[in-house]
A and B are shown apart, each in its own frame.
Chain A
């Protein structure tokens, strides 16, 4: 059974710092991996989607990498801003008609 782990559970950094959020998954035979952002009490906003054949995806200050063989993905945020404060969720989809499996998320606070 696929399990997704995100470490750390919470992170606080000063504004302007570059940071990395980690996601690991137990079954490396994934179909794709998606990073989401969730603001308090709100729904999820999709940030980046990486297909199993890809190694990374970039959007603005965000860069997500995927290493299937080691069961890891990282979300790199450059020049962090207070507006980046949110919970970041990693979710993987396995091959076959299987649902997304989510991690518990990393709660990020960027301090001005």
Chain B
């Protein structure tokens, strides 16, 4: 375990479902991130939270809705997804938003939209 925990590990959902991904870290980090990893593409940054405040939304469709209730927890709420949204969703954290000390990633949630 890296110190960043993601649940669930696997998720299959229909296009009309609503589900949420959870990320938790107790490393004392202040910044948290959602990344999307699709086959044969580089990791794509989706959202950045710094001290619970969203500082970046990388042109992500509104069917993805992030929530950061505190510095240790990050959620990604999903609704009316499309099959092309199937991917590995990775959460990461860093001690500071500048990433001076690097980034720690979770194991990811493998999402399949049917």
A-side residues, CB < 8 A to B, are 4, 31-32, 34, 36, 41-46, 49, 51, 89, 91, 93, 97, 99-104
B81 sits at the interface (CB 8 A): no
**CB-CB contacts below 8 Å: B59-114 with A:** 88, 90, 92, 97-108, 110
Query: Hey, which chain A residues are within 8 Å of B100, CB to CB?
Result: 32, 51
- Interface size of B by CB at 8 A reads 29
Main secondary structure of the interface of B (DSSP, over half): loop
Interface of A is mostly: strand
A-B CB contact pairs (8 Å), 6 listed:
A41-B110, A43-B6, A45-B2, A97-B98, A99-B48, A100-B103
With A31-B98, A99-B48, A102-B42 in contact, do A43 and B103 touch (Cβ < 8 Å)?
no
Q: Which residues of A contact B33 (CB under 8 A)?
A: 99
Check A32 against B105 for contact (C-beta < 8 Å): no
Residues of A within 8 A of B101 (CB): 49
Residues from chain A with a CB closer than 8 A to the CB of B4 are: 43
Report chain B residues within 8 Å CB of A93: 98-99
Shortest CB-to-CB span from B91 to chain A, Å, is: 8
CA distance A74 to B87 in the complex (A): 28
Q: Which A residues lie within 8 Å of B110 (CB)?
A: 41
Decide yes or no: A103 and B98 within 8 Å by CB, A43-B6, A43-B90 being known contacts.
no
Instruction: Say whether B40 contacts A104, CB under 8 Å.
Output: yes
B2: contacting residue among A4, A43, A51, CB under 8 A: A43
